[in-house]
Structure 1
Amino acid sequence: MPWSNQSGGPWGQKPQGPWGTGPQGGGGGQQPDLEDMLRRGQDKLKGFIPGGGGGFRGFAVIGLGAILLWLATGFYTVRPDEVGLNLIFGRYVGKTGEGLRYNFPYPIGSVIKPRVTTVNTIEVGQRTGDTSQRITQREVPEESLMLTGDENIVDINFTVQWQVSPTDPQNYVFNLKNPDASIKAVAESAMREEVGRRNIQAVLTSDRGPIEEEVRKLMQTQLDEYGAGVEIRQVQLQKVDPPQQVIDAFRDVQAARQDQDRVRNEAETYASRVVPEARGEATRIIQAAEGYREGVVADARGAASRFTQVYETYKTAPAVTRERMFIETLEKVLGGSDKVILDQKGGQGALPLLPLGTLQGSDTPSQRNVGGQTGTVIQQGAGR
């Protein structure tokens, strides 16, 4: 040293500062010597090293301690929502679960710990922001306007919820450079494909649920093909409307279609009531005609059979058959008419006759069976 505590330094014999004054403060004690402090530190360090720290042995002990301290930096902790990805010289060698783990320390090894339980949300067609404690939404028409299968334009906003795959987190880390942009591009492509398969009426009304599920499956399939290491949890449609410029005209068209459906339903209801009645009436007429046909055919067959039987009888006894047929014919002709029978053998004229039919409470002449034949009997001849 160029000066010592005894000489007082460059400012004189007394311990003074650079501005010509001595040290301030109570006690008036002497300032500590920096060189003396370094010397005492070296002495303490030699006490810890065997042999006084001299030679190769001392440097070996110091090097070994440094190596052990460096190796101890390889311990790391994996949280329950993380997966540890071990790398050696930048190459992926395996993954570890939660808990205290170890890998070679830097620069040989390193660890990447992606979170596999965090659910992330991507918006397509709109952007939601929080400014001045107020949530605002901004439309993105270049993402939301899509073409349907019947060549109509529909405005769709939807969100995609995704998370890192717990089974393949290394694919997410090493295969995706910009996960949000990649997933958003796949989501927009899948939604356009599904909307392009349907007409606008189905997209606006009945197919919202099927579209969400089909888009989720299609996204998952495409991301798996890319080896993205991402799981799509849910696709949710936020807004499905016609473009703002034509929404009034579209509502008029919707009202006209509703009227068309109403009138069609009324016509179908009327048809469902009238057509069965007409079919029933037609069936009744057909059945009546068939019954009449069967009756006429049966009568004709009976008459033909009866005529054949009479003919067979006539061939056996012609005289008797002719008389019987004559009597039957008279019975049919005279059976329903008033008759007067005169006995030409018994007298010269007609005899008074008691109206038996009137006395019996009937306006028709009395009937009796004579010789197996039915006839009206007025008077029997007195000469018999």
Structure 2
Amino acid sequence: MFEKFIYKLNLPPGITAFLQRTRLITLILAIIITLWSMIFQVGTEEVGVITRFGKYVRTVEPGLNLKIPFTEDVYKVPVERQQKLEFGFRTVSAGVNSEYTRQGAKDESLMLTGDLNLADVEWVVQYRIDNAYNYLFKVRNPETTMRDISEAAMRQVVGDRTVNEVLTTGRTEIGGKLEELIQNICNDYNMGIKIEQVVLQDVNPPDPVKAAFNAVNEAQQEKETLINQAKSEYNKVIPRASGQAEETIQKAEGYATERVNRAKGEVARFNELYNEYIKATEVTKRRIYLETMSEILPRLGNIVITDQEGNNVVPLLQMGLKNSQNSNSQSNE
């Protein structure tokens, strides 16, 4: 038909040949464009969402896929890639020596705590897309919505805590609570997002009060140091004093036991002696007397014993001398 149309125009042969070649080139280009619009490739960490005249049709897996040209569009969604949102700072260049900037991000990190103080909180939300259809069609501008949700959730969590908790002990708890809260809101909105982790980067007081806050922290640390030193000294002194007290008590108890046992022994000896005394009074008296004198006299040294008028020296004197000589000779030996 195209050739008949050219023939009717009665054009010169050169122009006719040119038009025929143009027709062939146009046909080839049309075929190439059609094939190019039909074939597309989805990356290994993506899925392809196909829409026909704007309406969702199907989801295709990674690899080469086909679609109807000029009527179907494909949206590639990175469902296997971990993505992140930064709050309070932005990464300028990532690498071994990463560079960051806070320009344009200061307002989103300034938080009001529950005790009406200010804290500068920087954090990162890491997430994955687990439902490509919901991510594309349930919420308009999902990344912007996600950023607004995260900032609102952080302000809520920080607003329930004191500034000391936010800056020191409560960071782990805040991260866990924030992750749970963001995930619940995303589920309510059917955003198709799964929160992987929330990481608090830097938590500092605002710059105008940072010096005063550092001074307070140093005072608290010094207080803790002194308390620990006092506890250490307490642990040294108290156990030692307790040990000494226990030792004194045990010595006293031992001494009391010894005295009681000795007293009981003396009582038993006295009772036995008394029983013998009852049986033979004179003999026992004489034996006790002689035993006592034999124990006492050697300690007295030179002894002179006379009768009642003082006329005669009792021969016992020689016995005492002999005993003293015997004791002296034994000591010399």
**TM-score of the superposed pair, with normalisation by structure 2:** 0.69
Aligned-CA RMSD value: 4.1
Q: What CA distance in whole angstroms lies between the structure 2 residues aligned with 1:242 and 1:81?
A: 40
Q: What CA distance in whole angstroms lies between the structure 2 residues aligned with 1:349 and 1:331?
A: 19
**Residue 138 of structure 1 pairs with residue 107 of structure 2:** no
SS in 2 for 1:138: coil
In the other structure, the counterpart of 1:113 is: 76
| Pick aligned residue for 1:297 from 249, 260, 266 | 260
In the other structure, the counterpart of 2:9 is: 35
In the other structure, the counterpart of 1:99 is: 63
**Residue 241 of structure 1 pairs with residue 204 of structure 2:** yes
SS in 1 for 2:103: strand
Q: Structure 1 residues 190 and 106, CA, compared in 2 at 3 Å: closer, same or farther?
A: same
Query: Is this contact kept in 1: 2:126–2:198, CA < 8 A?
Result: yes
Query: Is this contact kept in 2: 1:208–1:237, CA < 8 A?
Result: yes
In the other structure, the counterpart of 1:174 is: 137
Q: Structure 1 residues 241 and 340, CA, compared in 2 at 3 Å: closer, same or farther?
A: same
SS in 1 for 2:214: helix
Question: Residues 336-363 of structure 1: CA distance to partner in whole angstroms, max 9, x if unpaired?
Answer: 333526476xx93477857615751649
TM-superposed CA distance for 1:303, in Å, is 2.4
Q: Structure 1 residues 230 and 319, CA, compared in 2 at 3 Å: closer, same or farther?
A: same
Q: What CA distance in whole angstroms lies between the structure 1 residues aligned with 2:151 and 2:36?
A: 48
Instruction: Give, as a single letter, the amino acid of the residue that structure 2 aligns with 1:285.
Output: T
Query: Is this contact kept in 1: 2:48–2:59, CA < 8 A?
Result: yes
SS in 2 for 1:360: helix
Q: What CA distance in whole angstroms lies between the structure 2 residues aligned with 1:126 and 1:79?
A: 30
Bigger-Rg structure (1/2): 1
Query: What are structure 1's unaligned runs of at least 5 residues?
Result: 1-31, 45-69, 364-384
| Pick aligned residue for 1:158 from 123, 128, 140 | 123
Q: Structure 1 residues 72 and 243, CA, compared in 2 at 3 Å: closer, same or farther?
A: closer
Instruction: Give, as a single letter, the amino acid of the residue that structure 2 aligns with 1:143.
Output: E
TM-superposed CA distance for 1:260, in Å, is 1.6
Greater fraction of residues in helix: 2
Instruction: Give, as a single letter, the amino acid of the residue that structure 2 aligns with 1:184.
Output: R
TM-superposed CA distance for 1:309, in Å, is 2.6
Q: How does 1:215-364 map to 2 (within 5 A)?
A: 215-331=178-294, 333-334=296-297, 336-338=299-301, 340=303, 342=305, 348-349=312-313, 356-357=325-326, 360=329, 362=331
Query: Is this contact kept in 2: 1:71–1:104, CA < 8 A?
Result: no
Q: How does 1:14-29 map to 2 (within 5 A)?
A: none
Q: Structure 1 residues 223 and 320, CA, compared in 2 at 3 Å: closer, same or farther?
A: farther
Identity among equivalent positions (%) equals 33
Query: Is this contact kept in 2: 1:85–1:170, CA < 8 A?
Result: yes
Q: What CA distance in whole angstroms lies between the structure 2 residues aligned with 1:181 and 1:171?
A: 15
**Residue 204 of structure 1 pairs with residue 167 of structure 2:** yes
Question: Residues 238-278 of structure 1: CA distance to partner in whole angstroms, max 9, x if unpaired?
Answer: 43211122112112212222222222222222212111121
Report 1 or 2 for greater relative contact order, CA contacts < 8 Å, sequence distance ≥ 6. 2
TM-superposed CA distance for 1:182, in Å, is 1.9
